[in-house]
């Protein structure tokens, strides 16, 4: 029932090891590694993560940069007066006392939660709420930590630690108004929740509360982040998405885990005396959901924040040295980042496979969050400025800066053509090839099998030949839970359970969803600086995606020199992201009515503007007519990911978008009404042209 832990004191104020009893469900994650500490071996085994990080990828300096400074901020919470510090680590806290907004101690918090501080970091454009760790001398802290039974507290479809949730709720209620004011005054700043030990558990749940109550804070989801340093297990797997899996217990959905991407600070050389240079290993969560939200930093030989601060600082400086050495040849640097991205993706895949293999209940919740390796690849690609006039002037905020580096887009592409290419998008060739391979098998099944998903079935995910064209068939995977959608088709199609299909599609679609959000913001920026911040959250935050896997069978005879594989149409989406294989055949119609080839190019995705953006932008963006022609007797394959408004969305161009002196050219309309209009018109069905958004809601066409 109880487990003896060896822990260093919390907050780093007492330097001798002491022992503390913790319940099984709320283990503080003290994950030892490399044999550098010989205490409590059973604990590590039981946690199932003791030696796991050996195979994890190396963290990059860029992603790990905030950890040491954030640790210092947590340490500062222990100071009664930061102007006269008593416990400052080497080099000080690195904070400006004038930027401390408030500090609440045990008295202020009535023992409901450990002391915390709100700090406005103008240097890093961050609003930070930092919660200190468990104080061994405070009974009230134990009350918080021990207040949990298996399955006691449910939260948004999962389970969380009851005492920590209550503590998080207390902080949220006490501070959301302060935070909202800070957010309103500093709209470009990130909102960061951080804490150590018990405080890490509190902030992990506080982050979830903040995300679910964004309206109270007035902040978009992607501006909220959490660093949970040495977090206790505080949420069930479907919420936590940890890779530290306790395999035997995975089947119990009530069991709690430490959330998010994990960083282990590892001392490299085992069984030696003295300290060795630390390295940081990292692992992505199973689902990727919390990757932008919760980081979990597990120190390996010691739980104390003072140790984590020091070792993370040392590790960061080593990483930077390593990067500097590698900086000279840009190619090598890129390769290194690519290999890190690959390692991360392999490890992500392995974690996903493990979760699926073990059939974890609810392990496949929708994922619209991104992954770090995509950021890594993009950020260091060096493609940011040259040749892209679009982004030169627009890098005002750090987020914009990051997305700006991801893509090579020209705004005239959106406005004049409605089509553009993106590179550097983080979708690996390997992932597309896997889907291609699995799809080949799927489409090679006999028609009777595929028609079990056809227009007359209950699921209706398969469009057979002769509906859009004699050569075209497709399978649709719906969001937001792509895994479930793919699985329901897969279960009908394949006799044997084949989770690889759904897994791979889930991975692709969640990456696509993430990419769509980023691209949409870029498209808004292309309309005008600041439109992304002004409109994304209010207008586009309920967008959802679906994937269509398109298979074009090879025409047997090419009577003319080409046949139409998919007729001329516009997409009904806001934007579409298209992967096409090497066969070619996609064409877009120019203003002059000429068909222009959009040739495939390896590593490139095609993005096109859909009808909804054309209407929403009052024709500033163009939803171009396009089609697919088959010029060779070869099979063709493509993946079209459509990012769409929610059905009930009223599509109406904002006045700022229309611009002074310009006329509104569309009547406001409800999204689902337009979809119905297209569905119900024979010529508009399956996205054939004829009845477009102009015919439906265009003001001029009604005159």
Ligand X SMILES: O=C(O)CCC(=O)C(=O)O
Among the listed residues 344, 282, 279, 283, the one whose alpha carbon sits nearest the alpha carbon of residue 317: 279
d(CA 256, CA 105): 28
With CB under 5 to 8 Å by kind, the binding choice for 566 among ligand X, Fe ion, none is ligand X
Q: Of 266-274, 373-381, 571-579, 596-604, which segment contacts Fe ion by CB under 5 A?
A: 571-579
Residue with the two structure tokens 């306790």: 246
Binding flag, residue 421, ligand X (CB under 6 A): no
With CB under 5 to 8 Å by kind, the binding choice for 282 among Fe ion, ligand X, none is none
d(CA 142, CA 198): 9
With CB under 5 to 8 Å by kind, the binding choice for 144 among ligand X, Fe ion, none is none
Nearer to ligand X, 113 or 566 (CB): 566
d(CA 656, CA 570): 26
- Tell me the residue nearest to Fe ion as measured from the CB: 571
With CB under 5 to 8 Å by kind, the binding choice for 283 among ligand X, Fe ion, none is none
- Interface of this chain with Fe ion, residues 495 to 534, rule: CB under 5 A: none
Nearer to ligand X, 198 or 588 (CB): 588
Number of chain residues interacting with Fe ion (CB under 5 A): 1
Nearer to ligand X, 286 or 578 (CB): 578
With CB under 5 to 8 Å by kind, the binding choice for 628 among Fe ion, ligand X, none is ligand X
Alpha-helical runs (H) found in 358-498: 372-379, 389-392, 398-406, 411-412, 429-443, 447-451, 482-493
- Please state the closest distance from residue 372 (CB atom) to ligand X, in A: 30
Contact criterion met (CB below 8 Å) for 93 and 128 = no
- Please state the closest distance from residue 640 (CB atom) to ligand X, in A: 4
Nearer to Fe ion, 197 or 580 (CB): 580
Among the listed residues 632, 612, 631, the one whose alpha carbon sits nearest the alpha carbon of residue 623: 612
Binding flag, residue 571, Fe ion (CB under 5 A): yes
- Please state the closest distance from residue 198 (CB atom) to ligand X, in A: 51
- Interface of this chain with ligand X, residues 577 to 636, rule: CB under 6 A: 578, 580, 586, 626, 628
- Please state the closest distance from residue 652 (CB atom) to Fe ion, in A: 24
d(CA 368, CA 360): 20
* Residues across the chain: 703
Nearer to Fe ion, 197 or 474 (CB): 474
- Interface of this chain with ligand X, residues 526 to 585, rule: CB under 6 A: 548, 550, 566, 571, 578, 580
With CB under 5 to 8 Å by kind, the binding choice for 580 among ligand X, Fe ion, none is ligand X
Binding flag, residue 121, Fe ion (CB under 5 A): no
Secondary structure (3-state) at 199: helix
Number of chain residues interacting with ligand X (CB under 6 A): 12
Contact criterion met (CB below 8 Å) for 510 and 367 = yes
Among the listed residues 428, 432, 408, the one whose alpha carbon sits nearest the alpha carbon of residue 420: 408
Backbone phi and psi for residue 420, each to the nearest 5 degrees, phi listed first: -150, 165
Cα 548–chain centre separation: 21
Nearer to Fe ion, 376 or 571 (CB): 571
Beta bridge partners of 608: 419, 576
- Please state the closest distance from residue 203 (CB atom) to ligand X, in A: 43
What is the secondary structure of 608-648 as a DSSP string? EE-HHHHHHTTTSS----EEEEE-SSS-EEEEEEEEE--TT
d(CA 261, CA 375): 14
- Please state the closest distance from residue 7 (CB atom) to ligand X, in A: 56
Which residues lie near Fe ion (CB under 5 A)?
571
Which residues lie near ligand X (CB under 6 A)?
548, 550, 566, 571, 578, 580, 586, 626, 628, 638, 640, 687
């Amino acid at each position: 029932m109880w487990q003896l832990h060896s822990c260093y004191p919390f907050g780093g104020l007492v330097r001798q090891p002491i022992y503390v009893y913790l319940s099984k469900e709320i283990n503080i994650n003290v994950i030892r590694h490399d044999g550098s500490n010989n205490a409590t071996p059973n604990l590590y085994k039981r946690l199932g993560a003791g030696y796991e990080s050996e195979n994890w990828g190396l963290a990059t300096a860029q992603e790990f940069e905030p950890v040491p400074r954030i640790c210092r901020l947590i340490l500062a919470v222990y100071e009664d007066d930061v102007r006269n510090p008593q416990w400052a680590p080497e080099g000080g806290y690195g904070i400006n006392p004038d930027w401390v907004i408030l500090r609440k101690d045990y008295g202020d918090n009535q023992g409901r939660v450990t002391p915390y501080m709100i700090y406005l970091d103008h240097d890093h454009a961050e609003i930070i709420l930092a919660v200190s760790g468990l104080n061994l001398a405070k009974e009230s802290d134990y009350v918080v930590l021990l207040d949990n039974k298996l399955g006691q507290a449910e939260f948004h479809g999962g389970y969380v630690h009851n005492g920590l949730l209550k503590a998080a709720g207390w902080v949220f209620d006490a501070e959301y108004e302060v935070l909202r004011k800070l957010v309103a005054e500093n709209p470009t700043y990130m909102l960061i929740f951080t804490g150590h030990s018990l405080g890490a558990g509190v902030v992990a749940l506080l982050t979830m509360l903040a995300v679910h109550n964004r309206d109270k804070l007035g902040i978009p989801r992607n501006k909220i982040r959490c660093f949970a340093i040495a977090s206790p297990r505080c949420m069930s797997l479907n919420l936590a998405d940890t890779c530290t899996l306790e395999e035997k217990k995975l089947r119990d959905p009530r069991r709690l885990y430490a959330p998010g991407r994990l960083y282990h600070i590892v001392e490299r050389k085992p069984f030696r005396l003295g300290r060795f240079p630390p390295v940081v290993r990292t692992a992505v969560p199973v689902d990727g959901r919390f990757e932008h939200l919760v980081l979990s930093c597990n120190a390996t030989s010691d739980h104390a924040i003072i140790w984590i601060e020091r070792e993370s600082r040392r590790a960061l400086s080593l990483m930077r040295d390593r990067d500097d050495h590698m900086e000279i040849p840009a190619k090598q640097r890129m390769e290194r980042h690519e290999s890190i991205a690959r390692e991360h993706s392999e490890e992500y895949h392995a974690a996903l496979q493990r979760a699926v293999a073990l059939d974890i209940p609810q392990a496949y919740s929708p994922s619209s969050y991104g992954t770090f390796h995509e950021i890594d690849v993009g950020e260091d690609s060096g493609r940011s400025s040259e040749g892209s006039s679009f982004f030169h002037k627009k890098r005002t905020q750090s987020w914009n800066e990051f997305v700006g580096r991801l893509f090579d887009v020209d705004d005239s592409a959106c406005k004049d053509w409605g089509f553009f290419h993106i590179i550097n998008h983080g979708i690996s060739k390997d992932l597309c090839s896997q889907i291609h391979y699995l799809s080949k098998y799927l489409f090679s099944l006999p028609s009777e099998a595929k028609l079990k998903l056809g227009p007359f079935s209950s699921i209706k995910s398969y469009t057979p030949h002769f509906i859009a064209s004699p050569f075209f068939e497709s399978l649709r995977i719906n969001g937001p839970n792509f895994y479930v959608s793919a699985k329901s088709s897969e279960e009908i199609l394949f006799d044997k359970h084949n989770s690889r299909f759904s897994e791979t599609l889930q991975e692709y679609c969640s990456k696509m969803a993430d990419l769509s959000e980023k691209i949409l913001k870029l498209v808004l920026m292309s309309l005008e600086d600041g439109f992304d911040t002004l409109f994304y959250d209010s207008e586009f935050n309920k967008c959802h995606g679906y994937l269509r896997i398109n298979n074009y069978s090879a025409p047997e005879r090419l009577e003319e020199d080409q046949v139409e594989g998919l007729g001329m149409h516009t997409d009904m989406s806001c934007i579409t992201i298209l992967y096409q294989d090497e066969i070619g055949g996609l064409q877009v119609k120019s203003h002059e009515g000429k068909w222009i080839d959009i040739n495939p190019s390896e590593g490139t995705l095609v993005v096109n503007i859909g009808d909804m953006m054309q209407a929403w932008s009052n024709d500033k963006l163009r939803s171009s007519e396009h089609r697919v022609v088959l010029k060779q007797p070869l099979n063709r394959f493509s993946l079209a990911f459509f990012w769409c408004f929610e059905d009930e969305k009223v599509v109406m161009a904002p006045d700022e978008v229309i611009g002074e002196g310009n006329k509104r050219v569309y009547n406001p309309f409800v999204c689902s009404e337009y979809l119905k209009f297209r569905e119900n018109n024979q010529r508009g069905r399956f996205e054939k042209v004829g009845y477009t958004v102009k015919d439906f809601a265009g003001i001029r066409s009604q005159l």
